[in-house]
Amino acid sequence: MARPSQSFTATVYHAPAFGAAEAVAVFLTAVTTFFAISAFLPIGLGSLIAAQLIGMGGVPLVWALARRRSLLRLGLGRPRLRHLAGAALLGATFWYASLFLLAPIITALDRGELRDIERHFIADYSVPARLVALGLVPALCEEIAARGVLARSLAPRSAPVAVAVSAIAFAGFHMAPSRLAPMLAFGAVLAFFAVRTGTIWPAIVAHFTNNAVALLWDAKVIPVLPALANAHPNLAVVVAATMSLVGIATVARSA
């Protein structure tokens, strides 16, 4: 199997677990399983965790093991610390920058999805429960499916296509028109991280940090930060966007 372009990938590279066609089949099976479990179980964080672990995480892992493929080929090899640091910086700030920079699109496409998320998955649960169910578990499971399977398997043919397809699949999976633009942008960055570094751990770290910081911000765990951002909104967006770019550059330059 051909190796992806050096302009995108790291020096240490594990071949993907699947060919392009099989990867699409694995991803679609994972998504179908996720929604089947979600439809069967009552709405709540417990059912969301189960659907993520069995569908988005379990299906790719079981498929790879059944095909006798090393899990390293899903991008689970050891990452470099500087990649994780850049990913964490990106994750901590990207959600805020995209929320404001893409606000007109988000508002125009909003059909109440965010209010539904608040009602079903946030309002009645503790902050630690939200961090696990909406931060840690999706970061692990969705990155295995979208980046470990899809992006890495398409990258040998075309790294830009792998990034684009993975981002579109990631955004489509969330099925929320108001979140389409932010998810496309975020998914593209996560796919770039996976293809560039040869491991999905930076994408996992960025994904978790993005969700966790947004949840903690909404819960006002550190109230001084929302207060400062509300007092200086333009400066806050500039700082967040700059830190996001620094995070991307850290991963891109050190791979």
Determine the pLDDT at residue 102: 83
Query: What is the model's pTM?
Result: 0.90
Would the pLDDT of 117 be above 80?
no
Tokens linked to 194: 């996976």
Do the beta carbons of residue 194 and residue 203 sit within 8 Å?
yes
Reported as a pLDDT band with limits 50, 70 and 90, residue 112 is: low
Determine the pLDDT at residue 1: 40
- pLDDT, tens digit, for every residue of 5-54? 444 544 446 799 999 999 999 999 999 999 999 999 988 888 899 999 99
Instruction: Give the mean pLDDT of 168-196.
Output: 92
253 contacts: CB under 8 Å, gap ≥ 6? none
String of DSSP letters for 87-141: HHHHHHHHHHHHHHHTHHHHHHH-SSHHHHHIIIIITTS-HHHHIIIIIIHHHHH
The candidate with the shortest Cα–Cα distance to 91, out of 203, 251, 206, is 206
* Mean residue pLDDT across the chain: 89
% the chain with pLDDT above 70: 89
- pLDDT, tens digit, for every residue of 66-98? 999 999 999 999 999 999 999 999 999 999 999
